[in-house]
Amino acid sequence: MESNNNSVRTHNTLAAIVTSLSVFIIIMIIALMNAPTMGGPKVMASPQTYLAEVKRTALPFLGVVAVGAIALAYVFGRMIYKVWPNRQKRTTTLAAYGFLAPYLLITLTFTVGVVLFAFYISFNNYDIFTSPQWVGLANYKKAFNGFVDPTQKDFIQSLYNVIWYALIVVPLQTIIAVLLAALLNTPIKFRQFFRTVFYAPSVTSSVVITLIFIWLYLKIGYINFFFDKFLGLFGVKWVSILWLGDPRGLIQLIANAFGGDIPSKLWYLRGPSIAWMAIMFQNIFTTAPTFMIMFLAAMQDINPTLFEAAAIDGASKWQQFTKITIPLLRPIILMVVVLGTIGTLQVFDQVYLATSGGPLGTSLTPVYLVYREAMGTQGPIRMGYASALAFILAVIIFAITYVQRNLLERGTEQY
């Protein structure tokens, strides 16, 4: 009996050891594939040259990953040790992880590995073509130098821009989406046709939509043409605006209307620029229909007897909308606001195609700044600094999302 127990424990221990070693080896191979090294044909010429470069520059990175790999290997080994004596549990566990293995390998290689690589190089000066140089928190500190050095204000200005973007775009696109959904939820003629027309901008490529709006925003484009003809009916002369090239801010325009001005050194008091508001309008135009579909689905899920009872009690359509529909939409409103906020903080393609962060940085965004620094489109390649900016943005998005959930989620459980 004792010998049988010893044999079982031996088999369990052996299975756990094999599992732990397998997990550790797989993770270390993935770490080797994602090791921060100097690039170029000389390094990639053969496995030997690559491993030599890894040994020279990436041992700290591999050391950190090894610690995590040991911890993960222990967890998997412990799990196998517990389930191995039970044949059914053993078979189920092996089958489950066998099916998950392709997904886990791809995720570890192309997501987790890349994130760890980016996090490591955020503490380095790294331009791909030379070895990483450890600088500690210098890249993170540099991101906030704009508070004391106006010449390094790019990241601060990009955050300022996306805050304005979120404050204007998220409420407007949410309100418009709710109103469009309410309209299409009523028994009107050609309802299916209008649903298709309203939703069309959301399924159109963002690049195509942006190129169309670039054309519309030209000085000789249709938007200036419309204002010129419309205001001409009332005897008002319209001065054509280069919509995507005008850095004047909203608050600055209001101050100018009353004879005042805001100097360029106080750029943070000027408000969103005309160029930035033009991109906001495009974003609302393309995003509101997507959220409209979400609200429409939620409205159709509301029990119609609630409206019938309210109508019997004398409630008007507006009262039914504000007292029944809106409260029951709170979970969807939470989701739309969170998704909208995340989207506005990550805006990139419109800026890349339409303004490249200009004019005067008034449409610069954190994601475009990460791209610019990582690719070196306006200076040297600074992958380490770009990675630091990306992680700072991730923390900001997480914090804002957490606050939004705590503020908007209260009371939604009852619905």
Q: What is the pLDDT of residues 106-129, one digit of tens each?
A: 988 888 888 988 999 999 998 888
Contact call for residues 286 and 205 (beta carbons, < 8 A): no
What CATH number should be reported for the domain whose range is 145-204+281-414?
Answer: 1.10.3720.10
- What does DSSP assign to residue 38? -
- Model confidence band, residue 205 (pLDDT cutoffs 50, 70, 90): confident
Region(s) of the chain under CATH 1.10.3720.10: 145-204+281-414
> d(Cα 207, Cα 112) in Å, to the nearest integer?
29
C-beta of residue 123 within 8 angstroms of C-beta of residue 143: no
What pLDDT score was predicted for residue 411?
A: 56
Q: What percent of the chain has pLDDT over 70?
A: 96
Residue 410: predicted pLDDT: 64
Element containing residue 86 per DSSP (H, E): none
Return the beta strands (E) in 85-174 as ranges: 124-125, 133-134
Judged against a pLDDT cut of 60, whether residue 44 lies above it is answered with yes
148-163 residues labelled b (16+ CB within 10 A) or e (exposed): eeeeebbbbbbbbbbe
pTM: 0.86
